[in-house]
Amino acid sequence: MPGAVIRVAHLVSHPIQYFVPLYRELSSRPEIDLRVYFYSDATVREFYDGGFGRRIRWDIPLLEGYQSRICRSATRTDITGAFLRCPNADIVWEVASGRYDVVWVHGYAYSTAWLAALSARAKGASVLVREEQTLLERRPWYTRALKRVALRALFSQAWGLYIGEENRRYFEHYGMPPGRLFATRYCVDNRFFQGQAARLAPRRREVRAALGITDDTPVVLFCGKLIDKKQPLRLLEAFERVRRRRRCWLLMVGDGALRPAAQDLVARRGIPSVVMPGFLNQTELSAAYSAADIFVLPSAWHETWGLVVNEAMNFALPIIVSDKVGCAEDLVRPRWNGFVVSHRDVDALADAIETLVADEPLRRDFGTRSRELVGEYSVEACADGIIAACLAARGATQT
């Protein structure tokens, strides 16, 4: 029936703090009726995060403002595991029998997603796939061969929701027709973060002092898990080189397996002006961004996007990322709002940091452009893309 509300079932591994604003926005749109199914509800309560190496509890509500369904299997499942894990049979059954028009799966690393997609097609529903992988990492030949077969089969029956240009290339590489691809670019709640930036700006000196920053020299910020792929030790090495010549601070927010090694490196080499406050929860992160002057994400592999970059841009920060960060092509325009450096080149990383540390007008100009650019990566724009895909997919199914 033309104009009828499209019933959408969305399947995702667990409640993810970054996705909540998008679900709320989609739930406000009259074109669709959205219900979200989680394979696990572990993140709603305190849980162990292997990357951070500690138990955490998110301090924001993860299930408010949209319809969700916690099936029985989700209450008994943690967030680890992948394809070979026992599927959530109750979720597959409920989605298959729910008369949904569209089944939207996030990722393909779970057997539940594949079974739900198969059952949806058997019932005449359309399938949307949102996936964040890129071609920046070269997998073993046998992995590529398996994907070439499996993903081409899946993508032949689905519509793709790509999060950025590197991800779009991934979809096309594995057979998704360009005409069935829709831009649903990764985003954060820009309104919230820009509101926080405005609220904290008059208190910048106080915020910095609370973090242990005792003067007004530039602050370089890293925010993430202190693990190998993020290269915190390489960042420390680059910062040490800059700090020999320029007064500045390094604020390393996060926790993880490499925190003791990072602390040991700072102590052994006597690197000054390094502050490591540890893990900051969602309501605490804005203080770190507000205190900073430059944001750096020097990841070495499998950084499929990097949503902390979106967050930092809302605070008008210039950005330095490595060439292995998935959002680099979308969010960092070299010498316009930041720098993209080789993930192997500590000299290039140090040079980029020093360029920005030494030039306040350049930092200000780059930061202004960052904030302008991130406005295009909004929750509202992402929701528009998802709804456009739902309408197109459902229309194609009905013809």
Return the residue matching tokens 């594949």.
114
For residue 295, the model assigns a pLDDT of: 98
Contact in structure between 18 and 188 (CB atoms under 8 Å) = yes
What pLDDT shows up at residue 370?
Answer: 98
Residue 398 confidence (pLDDT) = 65
pLDDT at residue 360 in the model: 98
Q: What is the per-residue pLDDT for 1?
A: 46
Contact (Cβ atoms closer than 8 angstroms) between residue 251 and residue 325: no
**Residue for token pair 């040079």:** 351
The CATH 3.40.50.2000 domain(s) of the chain lie at 6-187+378-398, 190-374
- pLDDT tens digits in sequence order for the chain, 399 residues long: 456 899 999 999 999 999 999 999 999 999 999 999 999 999 999 888 888 888 999 999 999 999 999 999 998 777 665 545 678 999 999 999 989 999 999 999 889 999 999 999 999 999 999 999 999 988 898 899 999 999 999 999 999 999 999 999 999 999 999 999 999 999 999 999 999 999 999 999 999 999 999 999 999 999 999 999 999 999 999 999 999 999 999 999 999 999 999 999 999 999 999 999 999 999 999 999 999 999 999 999 989 999 999 999 999 999 999 999 999 999 999 999 999 999 999 999 999 999 999 999 999 999 999 999 999 999 999 999 999 999 999 887 665
Integer Cα distance of 44 and 67 in angstroms: 15
CA distance 90 to 73: 7
Rounded to 5°, angle at Cα 180 from 174 and 183: 95
8-22 core/surface letters (b: 16 or more CB in 10 A; e: else) = bbbbbbbbbbbbbbb
Q: Which fold has domain 6-187+378-398?
A: Rossmann fold (3.40.50)
Q: Which CATH number fits domain 190-374: 3.40.47.10, 3.40.50.300, 3.40.50.2000, 3.40.50.2300?
A: 3.40.50.2000
CA distance linking residue 152 with residue 67, whole number of Å: 32
Token pair, residue 385, equals 């893309």
Q: What pLDDT does 10 receive?
A: 98
**Residue 153 half-sphere exposure, CB side, CA atoms within 13 Å?**
9
Phi, psi of 326 (to 5 degrees): -60, -30
Helix (H) or strand (E) holding 35: strand 32-38
CB atoms within 10 A of CB 325: 27
Predicted pLDDT of residue 176: 96
Query: How far is residue 198's CA from residue 99's CA, in Å, rounded to a whole number?
Result: 45
> Using CA atoms, how far apart are residues 21 and 366, in angstroms rounded to an integer?
27
